[in-house]
Homo-oligomer: A and B are copies of this chain.
Amino acid sequence: MNETIQLLRNHRSIRKYKNIDVPEAHLQEIILAAQAAASSSNIQAYSVVAVRDPQRKQRLSELSGNQKQILESPVFLIWCADLNKIRKAVRLHEDIELKQNVEMLLLSTVDAVLAAQNATVAAESLGYGTVYIGGIRNNPQEVTDLLELPQLVYPVFGLCVGVPDQEPDIRPRFPLAAVYHQETYSEDALEKGIHTYDEITSHYYATRKGGGAGGERETTWSREMLRKFERENQRDHMHDFLLGRGFELK
């Protein structure tokens, strides 16, 4: 296993940070690495907003379900799908509107995520810890206002970056055979994999140390999925929010 693969395999989400800054030079190195990720037809349809201001981080923390790691981390990066950029480029040449559909939403979301994951890898290679915050989609309009995002830009997720002050266990992942299919998708492999993974996670949840919500608990992965997805509101507001920002879902 080479050094890079070791780094990737060693990933865990970090939710407690030391009171140490991320120097601007490091942050720029991280974002330049993000920019090197592939982009569909080089559209680069994403942006990132870095927030260091404590008051703004406080507000973002509240908007994301009071996640205190946002406050604790010296820098909070908000990765945005950005079609404003493409609209501006096109309109330099022709007075036309950029057509919207669900494909455009996917194109820009994919670009943002590819870049963000490179940023995560780069940050970890520099000794920082990170955690993605999907919670910024709890109140996406308020986040949009706070960051002054124009139409056709939406916040996909946040990323806390800082010096780790914890070393949580690495979370066990699905058995390879339940994720990796050969030639065609195997429902059978998936079903077996879920059972195996439930056994593995039963042990993990019962004994894990540090990080994550909940600490030691008696549960399994599939039970956690039930717990998460039986709830009513799974961010149903995203539909109206995206339409309000100029995206279309047709």
- Interface residues of A, Cβ cutoff 8 Å to B: 1-5, 7-11, 13, 28-29, 31-33, 35-38, 40-44, 46-53, 56, 80, 84-86, 88-90, 92-94, 96, 98-99, 101-104, 106-107, 109-110, 113-114, 116-118, 120-122, 125-126, 130-132, 134, 137, 146-150, 153, 156-157, 170-171, 173-174, 176, 178-185, 187, 190-191, 194, 221-226, 228-230, 234-236, 238-239, 242, 249-250
Contacts and interface: CB of A to CB of B under 8 A. Distances in A.
Contacts of A50: 180-183
In the complex, which of the residues A9, A110, A230 has the most CB atoms of chain B within 10 Å of its own CB atom?
A110
B223 A93 contact: yes
Nearest to A114: B117
Contact of A43 (B88, B96, B106, B228): B228
A238 B101 CA distance: 8
Contact of A234 (B38, B94, B104, B236): B104
